[in-house]
Amino acid sequence: MSDVRIAGGAMTPFNRRKDASSWRDWCLSAFTDALADAALMAGDIDALMVASESDFFSLQLNPAALIADELGLRRIRVQRVEGGGATGHLAVQAGAALVSSGQARRVAVLGVEASASHLDGASVGGLYSLSYDAWSEGESGIGSASIYALSALAFMAETGATSEDFARIAARNRQNARHNRFAHLPLDVTEADVLASAPVSTPYRRLDCSPLSDGAACVILAASQDLPEGPGRARLAGMGVANDRVRLGDRAHPGCFTAKGVALRAALAQAGCAVDQIGLAEVYDSFSGAQLQALQALGLTADPLAAERDGQFTVEGALPVNLSGGLLGQGAPVGATGVAQVLAAAQQLEGRYPGLRPARAPRFALVDTHGGIATLCAVSIVEAPR
């Protein structure tokens, strides 16, 4: 694709807000800091992409127009993007398409969700069940954890993965998050702590699950010629999206996140990158097992389970995964999640990530998200400045 740069970005802390602030405040904070990071002014922005999964969280229909007004953006292109858990990531891709096609010069992509403090946990869980088929799963009372657990059990039967493997991932991502000042759950926990936490839905326990979070994140996208003079910025080199059957039981392999591999191949082709050139990944770990399922579907290593057990996905390993802490550690305000993942990957490649990072940044990083249970999958390839 053409030269689309991640000119700058910022995020608020992902947490459960108890300070009487609102999602409007978080949007303004992330946007203002992102502009400063990109050395731009609000008047330089000619398009705004808003990522917001649910009107129930914001209690605001047409949030994009309202957010543009709150940010002081006038008479520019404004639209909202929604795609379940992939919402923020899809908004980044939509913004990149505007820049790449010449329809906009500088695009602000702003993701936000108030999913932790506005509603009680049971209500949020009920809403998230509508991310599947509302006529079947949604009205049956089955929740996200149970659907993910069914898929994880199928994955375990096919691959030999164990609860211990999942617990190792959950503990490591929370430990990674301890280096991230924006993280919701930067916990000093061990594999044993995860295995001892309260059962949720077999094989998952409480510490295998990502939290409900509040927060916002923003990135500014632009072509190189539309950026001010300064240090080089990472390039959004390739993008891919693919879908799968909505109902888990309709899939030939319910334990496999097949659409992720399709999305990855599209992104690699656009980036002109081979899979073995990817040296860093931020993947969608809504549950601990989902991280391993994602890595299997993406095919970043020949045997992801063996690679996990061999330590290849740690900060010292050949392919560090979720150094931000992922959803498990950093948190998961859905509209903001994918935006924050793209920002983390870009800053890692630029050598300026304010958290845990490998000793030597690779040339290419991967960002992976999905809505539903890998029903709508988005993959992007980010390239380091050259």
- How far is Cα 125 from Cα 371, in angstroms, rounded to an integer? 15
What lies within 8 Å, CB to CB, of 352 at 6+ separation is: none
- How far is Cα 386 from Cα 382, in angstroms, rounded to an integer? 12
Which tops the pLDDT comparison, 3 or 45?
Answer: 45
Count how many domains the chain has.
1
Distances (CA, A) of 56 to 113, 116, 124: 10, 12, 9
What lies within 8 Å, CB to CB, of 39 at 6+ separation is: 8, 228, 230
- How far is Cα 340 from Cα 99, in angstroms, rounded to an integer? 20
- Residue 1's pLDDT is what? 58
- How far is Cα 140 from Cα 85, in angstroms, rounded to an integer? 21
Q: Is the pLDDT of residue 89 over 90?
A: yes
pLDDT in tens, 334-376: 999 999 999 999 999 999 999 999 888 899 999 999 999 999 9
Q: Are 152 and 293 in contact (CB under 8 A)?
A: yes
Asked if residue 108 belongs to a domain, the reply is: yes
Q: Does the reported pTM lie above 0.75?
A: yes
Mean pLDDT of the chain: 95
User: For residue 102, what pLDDT band results from cuts at 50, 70 and 90?
Assistant: very high
Asked if residue 88 belongs to a domain, the reply is: yes
Q: Is the pLDDT of residue 177 over 70?
A: yes
Asked if residue 24 belongs to a domain, the reply is: yes
Asked if residue 175 belongs to a domain, the reply is: no
Asked if residue 319 belongs to a domain, the reply is: no
Q: Are 7 and 31 in contact (CB under 8 A)?
A: no
Can you give the CATH number for the domain in which 112 is found?
3.40.47.10
Asked if residue 217 belongs to a domain, the reply is: yes
Range of the domain at 49: 5-119+212-226
pLDDT in tens, 15-57: 999 899 999 999 999 999 999 999 999 999 999 999 999 888 8
Asked if residue 75 belongs to a domain, the reply is: yes
Q: Which amino acid is at 166?
A: F
Asked if residue 172 belongs to a domain, the reply is: no
